[in-house]
Amino acid sequence: MTPMRVSDLSGDLLDYWVARAEGIEHGPDLRAMRPGSVLVRVWSKEGFTFYTAYTPSTDIAQAWPIIEREQISICYSGIEWNEAVGKLVKIAPCQCVAMCKAVMGVSTVVLEACMRAYVASKFGETVPEEMVV
């Protein structure tokens, strides 16, 4: 299997590796646990069963507990304060840089940068390309 760069992960594949980093394995916690599929988290509360897509790279409600627990820092590059217009202006394509345990994740999307940093902090700069079943 060819290794994939964490910096290139996005969408379902990034969500898959976040689930792996969280220790979520195949089984009742996530159904269809494989790269390239929508992961479904099953949980119960007050006698009801809920099914929600596991998409921390796009859902702040799922990503925030990870960001907070792992103390992921977020900063932006490509913007600066313009005194003449009195606001932040874009000087280059805006990038979000997220740091997790001295490991950096970069993207134009905040949650994607954070989740890349998190996955890289757990697995390193590359992850194995896993077979899609």
pLDDT digits (tens, 9 = 90+) for 74-100: 887 777 778 888 887 777 666 777 888
Radius of gyration of the chain (CA): 17
Quick one: pLDDT at residue 1?
67
- Domain range 3-123, CATH architecture: 2-Layer Sandwich (3.30)
**Residue pLDDT, tens place only, 35-61:** 555 566 666 778 777 667 788 999 999
Task: State the helix-helix crossing angle for 110-123 and 60-69, rounded to 10 degrees.
Answer: 50
Confidence tier at 67 by pLDDT (50, 70, 90): very high
3-state secondary structure of 72: coil
Give the domain ranges of the chain.
3-123
